[in-house]
Chains A and B, each alone.
Chain A
Amino acid sequence: DAGVTQSPTHLIKTRGQHVTLRCSPISGHKSVSWYQQVLGQGPQFIFQYYEKEERGRGNFPDRFSARQFPNYSSELNVNALLLGDSALYLCASSLDLNTEAFFGQGTRLTVV
């Protein structure tokens, strides 16, 4: 079985642009979560989706949005990019809301 896959792996954007990151969960997993990891810090929770509904939201501005599709894949959108949005964006899937998370390799976003 394939693990969690994320695309793209690397991305360079200019300030003010928007970006869409994609995630495919492990087959059978219904929950997808998004995290932002800045170098030297732990992953910071952005969103959790379960059965296509938002079930949790972290302390991120409204420029960040996400959705989960009927096939359980997910997209994270960030509008009006700032330099401070440069980070590794991790997607994690889990079987349920309170089970262990399996992370993808992440998308390295650089905003210039």
Chain B
Amino acid sequence: GQQVMQIPQYQHVQEGEDFTTYCNSSTTLSNIQWYKQRPGGHPVFLIQLVKSGEVKKQKRLTFQFGEAKKNSSLHITATQTTDVGTYFCAGLRSNDYKLSFGAGTTVTVRA
């Protein structure tokens, strides 16, 4: 079955630094979605990427979808304490619409 792998599992970042989390699927995706989950909370939708090679920005967050529609990345610049949480990518297959989540990247920030 489809697997979505996400690395790194943990990211410890100095406030003000940049970091990137990566997501890879074993199968071609219809789209990829990114979610953020704060400790004790529920996943909150951030963005959806649909087109091959698509790049979208939300303030300090930059999302990319690979040309083969099998991988994606989230890059955060100038990390702030408000960025703390777990970031999940979720790939949607086109044949059965199952949304498969990666294991997430848990981000902690050193002030």
A: which residues have CB within 8 A of B? Answer: 33, 35, 41-45, 48, 55-56, 58-59, 90, 92, 97-106
- The reply to whether B1 and A43 contact each other, CB–CB distance below 8 Å, is no
- The reply to whether B88 and A42 contact each other, CB–CB distance below 8 Å, is yes
- The reply to whether A97 and B97 contact each other, CB–CB distance below 8 Å, is yes
CB within 8 Å for A99 and B48 given contacts A42-B88, A105-B42? yes
- The reply to whether A58 and B42 contact each other, CB–CB distance below 8 Å, is no
Instruction: Give the distance to chain A from B9, nearest Cβ to Cβ, in Å.
Output: 9
B: which residues have CB within 8 A of A? Answer: 1, 6, 30-31, 33, 35, 41-45, 48, 88, 90, 92, 94, 96-104
What are 29 A-B interface contacts by the 8 Å CB criterion? A41-B103, A41-B104, A42-B6, A42-B88, A42-B90, A42-B101, A42-B104, A43-B43, A43-B88, A43-B101, A45-B99, A48-B97, A48-B98, A48-B99, A55-B96, A56-B97, A56-B98, A59-B1, A90-B42, A90-B43, A98-B30, A98-B31, A98-B92, A98-B94, A99-B48, A100-B33, A102-B45, A103-B43, A103-B45
- The reply to whether A56 and B43 contact each other, CB–CB distance below 8 Å, is no
- The reply to whether A101 and B101 contact each other, CB–CB distance below 8 Å, is no
A-B contacts at CB below 8 angstroms, number: 57
